[in-house]
A and B are shown apart, each in its own frame.
Chain A
Amino acid sequence: MRYQFDFSIIHVKLSELLAGAITTLEVSVLAIVFGFLLGLSLAFLRATRITALRWLVATYVELIRNTPFLVQLFVVYFVLPYAGIKMDPFLAGVIALSLNCGGYAAEIIRAGIESIHEGQIDAGRALGMKYLQVFRYVIFKPAMTTMFPALSSLFITLMLGSSILSAISTPELTSVAYNITAYYYRHFEVFFFISGVYLAFSLLFSLVFRYIEVRFLRDEGPRTPRAILAYILTDTLVEKAHI
């Protein structure tokens, strides 16, 4: 093997890579927020009694779930401008990711809502709860508890999927890395390094989601930040060690 590995390029270009990493986080967080809101609205539209609306939402969800994200991205970035909607790669990326995330989230949220038995709502009312209380304690929290693991893994997948935005040169991590390799021909080193960054991000995201789950969706358990963190970390380590 004649190839000499040279990782000094990472050190030289660290600030650019850092900027890319921050853009990746920005894009992901924006898309998670908008995607979740879209998914929530779609799920509620699908629960209405208007058949046409239900069919429309179902069609959207199936279209999103059965076509590649790259093609959806190209449609948003290349086709929409011809319909008079022009946007820069950053905005197009956020929009495409949100539309995609919304489709998947809608399906998860629907399953979560369906897991609440109708009798539960009646029971809540019978206990003298107000409508908002019923929504908060009987529908929202239990449904959220059911669907949270699926949602958090969807959001982590979305963050990883934001690397695909490099195809339309949104200045996120993969795109920045690709541009660096185009000048320095250190493909393997740079991609190896940013793989590590993505791995760290996915661990960070899963820690944050676990924190939210333990803090807000459990009725008992640790409550102070330090105790929750300790709980999550030992939990992860124990899983790592066995089974």
Chain B
Amino acid sequence: METKYFEVRALQFGDIVFMLTTTLTTIELSLIAIIGGLLLGVIIGICRSSNVRGVNILARVYVEFFRGIPILLQIFMFYYGLKIFAIQMPALLSASMAFVFNVAANVGETLRGIILSIPKSQWEAGACLGLPYLAQLRYVILPQVVRAAIPPSIGIMVGLIKDTSLASIVGFVELTRSGALIMAVTMNPYTAFPFIAAIYFLVCFPLTQTSRWLEKALSI
């Protein structure tokens, strides 16, 4: 007679609580990465639209590198790279490293597009009004840049939330990993993964819609 070691079971209350807890981990990871990525991305964006050749090329190499190789490999390289240099840090922080650098590349490239799309006449108009350089930047250029940057930034945030699922491959326990763990325990992939997909959808869809709405509402 065949011995049954494992039994297929349905999702239980505990499993659902586990998934919701790991959802918070996913959100935490995304928030750390988006804050770090925006800060670094603004610097990259400014360098990328600068007139100084060396700075510009350096920023471009950075962007090409982080957009030209798979995010999964970036995660691997940070994961094993940090180990090589024996750098110890909390799992949440080391998991978010790759995402920070990746988001920064995307934000930088987006910002470059926006900064270059602002006509030179806007600066000139500021100058005609007698505004000093910093005031032109602060009152004429920045408001336009920020306004144009909000919808694509939300788009980048959605992409980031989806990408954080890849941290599960190096063993970081977040939402997707919890699905795999629950599948291993319940022997039943039927419910875990569709449930996980639904949670991602519930987090991402409102953001996507907001971004779409803002794009329409903020366009001149």
Task: Report A's interface with B, CB cutoff 8 A.
Answer: 1, 3, 62-63, 65-72, 74-75, 78-79, 82, 160-161, 163-164, 166-167, 174, 187-188, 191-192, 194-195, 198-199, 202-203, 240-243
Contact = CB atoms under 8 A, between A and B. Distances in A.
Nearest to B204: A66
Given A82-B190, A240-B57, A71 B165 contact: yes
Contacts of A62: 201, 205, 208
B29 to A, nearest CB: 13
B126 interface: no
A240 B60 contact: yes
Given A167-B169, A240-B60, 4 more contacts: A62-B201, A187-B76, A202-B68, A241-B53
A70 B70 CA distance: 13
Nearest to B65: A199
Interface stretch (B35-43, B77-85, B128-136): B77-85
A174 B77 contact: no
If over half of A's interface residues share one DSSP class (helix, strand or loop), that class is named, otherwise mixed; here it is helix
B123 interface: no
A70 B162 CA distance: 9
A161 to B, nearest CB: 7
A164 B72 contact: yes
Given A68-B162, A71-B176, A242-B53, A160 B70 contact: yes
Contacts of B194: 75, 79
Report which residue of B60, B76, B197 has the largest number of chain A beta carbons within 10 angstroms of its beta carbon.
Answer: B76
Contacts of B196: 71
Nearest to B161: A68
Chain B: interface size category? 35 or more
Nearest to B72: A163
B77 A79 contact: no
27 contacts: A1-B86, A62-B208, A66-B162, A66-B200, A66-B201, A66-B204, A67-B197, A68-B166, A71-B179, A71-B193, A71-B196, A74-B193, A75-B193, A79-B194, A161-B70, A163-B70, A163-B73, A174-B73, A188-B77, A188-B84, A191-B76, A191-B77, A191-B80, A198-B69, A199-B64, A202-B68, A243-B49
Interface in B82-136: 83-86, 116
B69 A67 contact: no
Interface in B131-174: 158, 161-166, 168-169
Contacts of A3: 84-85
A76 to B, nearest CB: 10
B23 to A, nearest CB: 13
Contacts of A243: 49, 56, 116
B180 interface: yes
B46 interface: no
Contacts of A163: 70, 72-73
Interface in B166-220: 166, 168-169, 176, 179-180, 183, 189-190, 193-194, 196-197, 200-201, 204-205, 208
Contact of B77 (A65, A78, A195, A240): A195
Contacts of B70: 160-161, 163-164, 174, 198
A69 B73 contact: no
For the complex of A and B, list the 10 residue pairs with the smallest distance between their C-beta atoms, beginning with the closest.
Answer: A68-B165, A187-B80, A163-B70, A78-B189, A66-B204, A68-B162, A160-B70, A195-B69, A70-B165, A202-B68
